[in-house]
């Protein structure tokens, strides 16, 4: 079949964009953040930058999707939006604006704390302080995220994020609020204690939300050597795999340094799976999803051990690693909260 000159141009444009979009949108997002921070209304302008990047990603997802079947509506959009607003929104902006939580915390809480060790290298250039802060915060985020996969009392909250059957920009904020709070504490507390200044918190917050938007996007992208440093969509798609050996990897939120050091980095020339999700059942509706991990029956449903206990306990879908190990060895002990053999 003959291809027209127009088809050829579109093909080459998509190929060029697949290389340019990740660094381009990342760079524009950070540039916008810098301009917002220099303005009179940094929170407002940063949220506008955030929404603009999200909108641009949503448009490119339609035009050059990584997985066309992920474009279909899964009925979870209102819940995803609600979780995003609850988790990320600050009290006064939650209803209208997303993703301001880390910056709001830095603005309100940080100056009031008096427990800083005061050893932060404030004489370094700001960019170097931000890089240092990202490396330190990432260790806390890594521990929090890995614990959420390997320790069943936390997996019951994190499972909500992994229950999605498709990845796209709006899944970025689909986290249970307790899951998010735990990550925020472990990620930010070391920076508070070391005495990092407000500007550093603001930049760590900005980098984290821009990276998160891109990490879950459904755009066909080429990220090459960036996959060795940053938490790119190519890496994070493996993290959503149903296969335990692929899903319990790539915990990094912004950078993958700690995955590299602790041996949980995973990448493959194979195409990541498009059939993603968990075996357990997640409640429908925002309030139901919030309350589900807090009840014994809800936890059993999340773990996939409600009625067909034997079958679902042997599933290969991502479950807390400790739980999975416990399931595989003979035991007489049973965890009353999950219905499964007790995790180590
Ligand atoms: Zn995860
Ligand atoms: Zn994710």
Closest-approaching ligand to the CA atom of 211: 2
Percent of the chain whose pLDDT exceeds 90: 59
Place of tokens 């400790």: 322
Give me ligand 2 centre to Cα 4, in Å. Answer: 39
d(CA 162, CA 295): 19
The residue-averaged pLDDT of 142-152 equals 96
Task: Determine which helix (DSSP H) or strand (DSSP E) holds 135, and give its type and residue range.
Answer: helix 126-150
pLDDT digits (tens, 9 = 90+) for 18-71: 999 999 999 999 999 999 999 998 888 998 999 999 999 999 999 999 999 999
Total domains in the chain come to 1
Ligand nearest to the CA of 250: 1
* Residue 52 belongs to domain spanning: 8-262
pLDDT digits (tens, 9 = 90+) for 113-135: 555 667 899 999 999 999 999 99
Residue 268 lies inside a defined structural domain of this protein: no
Residue 123 C-alpha to ligand 2 middle, in angstroms?
Answer: 36
Task: Give the distance from CA 300 to its chain's centroid.
Answer: 24
Ligand 2 midpoint to CA 32 (Å) = 24
Ligand 2 centroid from CA 235, angstroms: 10
Residue 255 forms part of a structural domain: yes
Assess if residue 306 is contained within a domain: no
Q: How far apart are CA 21 and CA 66, in angstroms?
A: 13
Nearest ligand to the C-alpha atom of residue 148 = 1
For 141, residues 6+ apart whose C-beta sits below 8 A from its C-beta are: 183, 186, 187, 251, 252, 253, 254
Ligand number nearest to the C-alpha of 213 = 2
Is residue 35 included in any domain, yes or no?
yes
- The rounded Å distance from CA 121 to ligand 2 centre is 33
- Local confidence band at 101 (pLDDT 50, 70, 90 cut-offs): low
Q: Is the pTM of this model over 0.85?
A: no
Asked whether residue 219 is domain-assigned, the answer is yes
Residue 39: inside a domain: yes
- Under a CB-based contact definition with an 8 Å cutoff, are residues 60 and 219 in contact? yes
């Amino acid at each position: 079949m003959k291809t027209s000159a127009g088809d050829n141009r579109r093909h080459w444009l998509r190929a060029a964009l697949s290389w340019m979009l990740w660094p381009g949108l990342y760079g524009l997002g950070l540039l916008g953040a810098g301009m917002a921070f220099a303005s009179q209304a940094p929170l407002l302008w940063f949220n506008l930058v955030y929404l603009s990047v999200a909108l641009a990603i949503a448009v490119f997802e339609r035009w050059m999707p990584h997985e066309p079947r992920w474009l279909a509506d899964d009925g979870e959009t209102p819940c995803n939006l609600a979780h995003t607003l609850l988790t990320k929104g600050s009290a006064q902006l939650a209803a209208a604006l997303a993703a301001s939580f880390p910056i709001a915390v830095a603005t309100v809480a940080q100056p009031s704390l008096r427990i800083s060790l005061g050893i932060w290298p404030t004489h370094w250039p700001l960019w170097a302080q931000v890089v240092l802060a990202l490396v330190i915060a990432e260790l806390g985020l890594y521990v929090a995220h890995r614990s959420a996969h390997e320790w069943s009392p936390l997996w019951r909250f994190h499972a909500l994020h992994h229950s999605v059957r498709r990845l796209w920009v709006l899944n970025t904020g689909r986290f249970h609020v307790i899951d998010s709070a735990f990550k925020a504490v472990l990620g930010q507390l070391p920076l508070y204690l070391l005495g990092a200044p407000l500007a550093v918190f603001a930049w760590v917050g900005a980098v984290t939300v821009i990276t998160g938007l891109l990490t879950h996007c459904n755009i066909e992208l080429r990220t090459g050597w960036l996959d060795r440093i940053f938490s790119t969509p190519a890496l994070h798609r493996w993290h959503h795999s149903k296969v335990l050996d692929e899903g319990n990897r790539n915990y990094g939120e912004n950078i993958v340094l700690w995955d590299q050091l602790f041996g949980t980095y995973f990448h493959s020339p194979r195409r990541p799976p498009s059939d993603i999700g968990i075996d357990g059942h997640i409640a429908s509706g925002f309030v139901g999803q919030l309350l589900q991990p807090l009840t014994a029956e809800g936890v059993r449903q999340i773990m996939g051990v409600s009625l067909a206990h034997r079958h679902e306990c042997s599933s290969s879908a991502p479950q807390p690693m400790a739980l999975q190990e416990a399931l595989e060895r003979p035991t007489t002990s049973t965890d009353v909260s999950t219905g499964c053999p007790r995790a180590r």
